[in-house]
């Protein structure tokens, strides 16, 4: 496995807490998979056979409701792992996974993971930590839906794309299409357009797949503002 791919995989929730020898052992059994935008990684209801790490690109997890509507559960990018929660049980995947862009993925078979757990019990802690982190992310998404306006949710989404050391004026690339962004944030596409328009008041200009944030701290203040105050402002 190329060292650059290994370094990205090593930072994932799944492998970050493992000793070097254990991480190398699990990745020696893994496969690198190149996929195109729109490719299915797995389908809701399929037997869970693997855990994945994103090396490049974006993957969306979603569920199809009985009425046929698609609900985006999560979006994962470089260095993120997904599928850990069902690795112990060989249960069915509770969601479907699809490449939102061209992707490079690492596929780790669940059988290899279970063998690693038997050989090195500390690996079970990494699985539990990764599963907890995904649960925490879902709780945070629910909190956003309940406690933030649509424009605030979009502001927070943009801030997640900003490098940690950035300040002042910054430009970020929107990582996938706006329909998916809307789904990720629990909004309709037309609501997302209104939210982007609202954010112009806070120094955000969106052109195609780029967003320019004039004042980073101002946007952070708006994202953290009491929602009652934000609603009163529009």
36 in Cβ contact with 58 (< 8 Å)? no
State the pLDDT at residue 50.
Answer: 92
In order, the DSSP letters of 73-85 are EEEE-TT-EE-GG
Tokens, residue 173: 């690339």
Q: What is the architecture, at CATH level 2, of domain 3-145?
A: Sandwich (2.60)
Give the start-to-end residue ranges of the domains of the chain: 3-145, 148-232
Mean pLDDT score of the chain, rounded to an integer? 84
State the pLDDT at residue 33.
Answer: 95
- pLDDT tens, 138-170? 666 666 565 578 899 899 889 988 887 777 889
Q: Say how far apart CA 52 and CA 74 lie, in whole Å.
A: 14
- pLDDT tens, 94-124? 999 999 999 999 999 988 878 877 877 777 7
Residue 57 in this model has a pLDDT that exceeds 90: yes
State the pLDDT at residue 64.
Answer: 85
- pLDDT tens, 14-51? 888 777 888 888 888 899 999 999 999 999 999 988 99
pLDDT band at residue 52 using 50, 70 and 90 as cut-offs: very high
State the pLDDT at residue 74.
Answer: 84
pTM for the structure as a whole: 0.74
The CATH number corresponding to 148-232 among 3.40.630.30, 3.30.1120.130, 3.40.640.10, 1.10.10.10 equals: 1.10.10.10
Q: Say how far apart CA 173 and CA 60 lie, in whole Å.
A: 17
């Amino acid at each position: 496995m190329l060292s650059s791919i290994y370094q990205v995989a090593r930072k994932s929730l799944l492998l970050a807490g493992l000793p070097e020898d254990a991480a190398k052992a699990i990745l020696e059994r893994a496969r690198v998979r190149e996929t195109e935008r729109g490719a299915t990684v797995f389908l809701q209801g399929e037997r869970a056979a693997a855990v994945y790490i994103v090396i490049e690109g974006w993957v969306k997890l979603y569920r199809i409701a009985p009425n046929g509507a698609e609900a985006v559960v999560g979006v994962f990018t470089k260095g993120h792992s997904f599928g850990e929660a069902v690795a112990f049980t060989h249960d069915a995947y509770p969601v479907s996974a699809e490449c939102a862009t061209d992707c490079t993925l690492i596929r780790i078979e669940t059988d290899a993971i279970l063998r690693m757990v038997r050989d090195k019990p500390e690996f079970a802690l990494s699985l539990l930590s990764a599963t907890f982190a995904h649960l925490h992310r879902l709780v945070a998404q629910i909190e956003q839906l309940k406690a933030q306006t649509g424009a605030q949710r979009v502001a927070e989404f943009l801030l997640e794309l900003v490098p940690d050391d950035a300040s002042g004026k910054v430009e970020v690339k929107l990582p996938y299409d706006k329909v998916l962004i809307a789904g990720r944030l629990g909004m309709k596409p037309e609501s997302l357009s209104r939210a982007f328009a609202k954010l112009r008041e806070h120094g955000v200009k969106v052109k195609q797949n780029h967003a320019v944030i004039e004042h980073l701290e101002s946007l952070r203040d708006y994202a953290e503002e009491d929602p009652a105050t934000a609603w009163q402002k529009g």
